[in-house]
Structure 1
Amino acid sequence: MPAFFRHCTLLLVLAHLLMIGGCAAPGQTRDEQRQNIRQTEREVLNALYQLKPDLRNDVARAPGYAVFSNVNVNLLLASASTGYGVAVSKSGERTYMKMGEVGVGLGLGIKDFRALFVFDSPEVMERFVERGWSFGGHADAAAKAQDKGVAVGGEVVVDGMRVYQLTESGIALQATLKGTKYWKDSELNFD
Structure 2
Amino acid sequence: MRFSKLLITGIALVSMLGAGAYAQDKAAQQAEVKAKAMQALQDFYKADPKLKTAVEAAPGYAVFTTYGLSLGLGGAGGKGIAHNSKTKSDVYMSIAQASAGLQVGASDTRYLYVFSDAKALTDFIDKGWDASAGAAAGAGTGASAANVKAGAGEFTGGKQYALTKAGLQAGVAVAGTKAWKDKDLN
TM class, shorter-length: 0.7 to 0.9
Structure 1 length-normalised TM: 0.78
Partner of 1:167: 164
Structure 2, unaligned runs of 5 or more: 1-23
Partner of 1:32: 28
The 1:85/1:137 distance shift into structure 2, 3 A limit, reads: same
Does 2:84 align with 1:89?
A: yes
1:70-101, CA deviations, whole angstroms, 9 ceiling, x for partnerless residues?
Answer: 1122112x111111111000121111011122
More displaced 10-residue stretch of structure 1: 179-188 or 139-148: 139-148
CA distance in 2, matches of 1:68, 1:32: 17
Residues 73, 79 of structure 1: 8 Å contact kept = yes
Counterpart of 2:175 (choices 169, 178, 185) is: 178
CA distance in 2, matches of 1:127, 1:133: 8
Residue 153 of structure 1 and its aligned partner are, at CA, apart by 2.4
Structure 1, unaligned runs of 5 or more: 1-27
The alignment covers a number of residue pairs equal to 161
- Structure ID, larger Rg: 2
Partner of 2:17: none
Structure holding more helix per residue: 2
| Structure 2 counterpart SS, 1:46 | helix
Identical-residue share of aligned pairs (%): 30
1:42-89, CA deviations, whole angstroms, 9 ceiling, x for partnerless residues?
Answer: 21221221222221111111010001011122112x111111111000
Structure 2 length-normalised TM: 0.80
Does 2:45 align with 1:49?
A: yes
CA distance in 1, matches of 2:25, 2:180: 20
